[in-house]
Amino acid sequence: MPQQKSKNTDPWAKLDAYFAESVEPTGPEWFTADDLKNKFKISESSVRRRLKSMHRDKLLDIWSGGSAETKQYCVKYRFR
């Protein structure tokens, strides 16, 4: 016999709380991988490799979450 869920529990509550805390940073200091690719006219693989290297060297702050514009997953970077 399947278990009945309590009517008082909201299965989306944890997810709603996560997205409420995840406010997309704005400002000229924040950029995406596509911004970097377009500015320097380099391939996506080069951008990913360079971002990974800069993150490893602790030169970047990274934010990831839902984009305010597109409502899709987004990653933004900022130089420290």
Residue 8 CA to residue 6 CA, distance in Å, equals 5
- Whole-prediction pTM: 0.69
Domain boundaries defined on the chain: 24-79
66's enclosing H/E stretch is strand 60-66
Tell me the mean pLDDT in the region 50-63.
96
Topology annotation, domain 24-79: Arc Repressor Mutant, subunit A (1.10.10)
Q: State the Cα angle at 24 between 14 and 78, rounded to 5°.
A: 125
Q: What is the pLDDT of residues 17-41, one digit of tens each?
A: 766 666 788 889 999 999 999 999 9
Q: What percent of the chain has pLDDT over 90?
A: 52
State the chain's mean pLDDT as an integer: 85
Sign for the pseudo-dihedral over CA of 28, 33, 38, 41: positive
Tell me the mean pLDDT in the region 49-70.
90
Residue 47 CA to residue 2 CA, distance in Å, equals 50
